[in-house]
Structure 1
């Protein structure tokens, strides 16, 4: 028998002084990614996403990042992120969301500093280890073992901290200060009715320049960005609340429920009610 000993006293990952709360765990294969989780943010949750396979490009805070197997993304609370997978760019992921996070020196529900790169590239052995823990965590939750799931969460956070300390940052593209202003404006007003001209007036530029910079940096026109923010917020409300679809449509800026259903189905590949039914696991 070979016995291993702990070399030092246990220290909680990220210097945590209280147990964070696990909110959800998800596992998406490349086939299911045909129905993407569109642009959204969480007010009080952090997401940790491990890319298991496929290739795509994620947008985090308005900046695009390449995504392929072994990439580990951290989305702090209130950070807008878009995961534009689909039939032409399938991607498999495991992810978890947690709240009640208090890392010393950072605002509440923030796992990494605001100016840190949100993605790092793991080695294959690291990816396999984390992948296994995500699978066990998912199985524990589906079997109703919430206590066991929270202990596994600490194990995952420990590995995430270790791996980020040694991993290379993922591939990124240079940012643009004006594009960030566009994003900030839309994130604040996406549920309101406004035209490209009104947005341009508010930002003191021409509509042409606004559209050109937004498309060049984010890959979307300003109005496409608005659409994805609306649909992403609708997905969040469908998953996390029991609000009727008509109420959700109104909250994200659609007065006509039929128009909302059509836009949602086009972006996600299924109707809002179907998405709500299929996205959430019911114990």
Structure 2
């Protein structure tokens, strides 16, 4: 058996906590499309509920006790298996540099994006709750305590081994991941199956067939999800108008954008912004 050194911070420099949020299972599910955060690593802990976690093209079924790892810039999505949200704590982290990994990287696909806490479920839950409650106090002293607790949570999370869900990926899944990555970067541009096939050196028919079989979406449907995911980010982190955001994510008209956003998310764009900020008490978040 190969022994790996325990995770540690490069040069002893610890990361900083940007935000902490908690989703409760009493909340009605609002679907949030696949999105990513540049410059931010995220760590989630599932304390209640079940669903699906998709990150960088890898798909996991998730359950209570799971820790979900997001590398900086990774596409990711958590969706509930029920009509209500999954109970999670979410921590946005900056300045993470781990020995053996590039800055902003928590893990590799080979080492798994999901780490089950197992018998230490209650311990991790208590630590997450403590960090979240200190961040909620919104004082400099409480935030300092939360930032002192954060390194322990990060290192503990990385110390848990991945389980059977992090199995070896097959060639078709690698192709699907490449399609995802390209669309994620170029979703605001006009995309065609012929163009994607030429780029990835496969026939458009085979590309669409593999992608649909693995993801459940056509490449064009996935492009729409990426556009709407970025629109959600812009709605909750900026004051841009719906028309401005429509143009930024690749739509020529606000009316078309509003219709697609409402169909995908279940709420019109401006109402989505208003309800999100009301839940966050006006704070801009993840």
Query: Are positions 1:66 and 2:61 aligned together?
Result: yes
Equivalent of 2:261, from 246, 261, 264? 264
TM-score, structure 1 normalization: 0.85
Name the residue aligned to 1:140.
Answer: 134
Query: Are positions 1:130 and 2:124 aligned together?
Result: yes
Query: Are positions 1:46 and 2:41 aligned together?
Result: yes
Distance (Å, rounded) in 2 between the aligned partners of 1:93 and 1:251 = 30
Q: Give, in angstroms, the shift of residue 150 of structure 1.
A: 4.1
Distance (Å, rounded) in 1 between the aligned partners of 2:14 and 2:153 = 16
What is the aligned residue count? 272
Distance (Å, rounded) in 1 between the aligned partners of 2:9 and 2:165 = 24
Unpaired runs of at least 5, structure 1: 1-11
Query: Are positions 1:30 and 2:18 aligned together?
Result: no
Task: Report if the CA contact (8 A) 1:28-1:92 is conserved.
Answer: yes
Distance (Å, rounded) in 1 between the aligned partners of 2:106 and 2:147 = 14
Task: Report if the CA contact (8 A) 1:56-1:90 is conserved.
Answer: no
| 135-144 or 250-259, which deviates more | 135-144
Query: Are positions 1:112 and 2:107 aligned together?
Result: yes
Task: Report if the CA contact (8 A) 1:35-1:269 is conserved.
Answer: yes
TM-score, structure 2 normalization: 0.84
Query: Are positions 1:214 and 2:208 aligned together?
Result: no
Tell me: CA distance 1:31–1:265, structure 2 relative to 1, closer, same or farther (3 Å).
Answer: farther
Distance (Å, rounded) in 2 between the aligned partners of 1:22 and 1:77 = 14
Provide Cα deviations, 1:24-55, integer angstroms capped at 9, x if missing partner: 11111234361122201111000001112221
CA-based RMSD of the aligned residues comes to 2.6
Tell me: CA distance 1:190–1:109, structure 2 relative to 1, closer, same or farther (3 Å).
Answer: same
Provide Cα deviations, 1:1-37, integer angstroms capped at 9, x if missing partner: xxxxxxxxxxx96456334232211111234361122
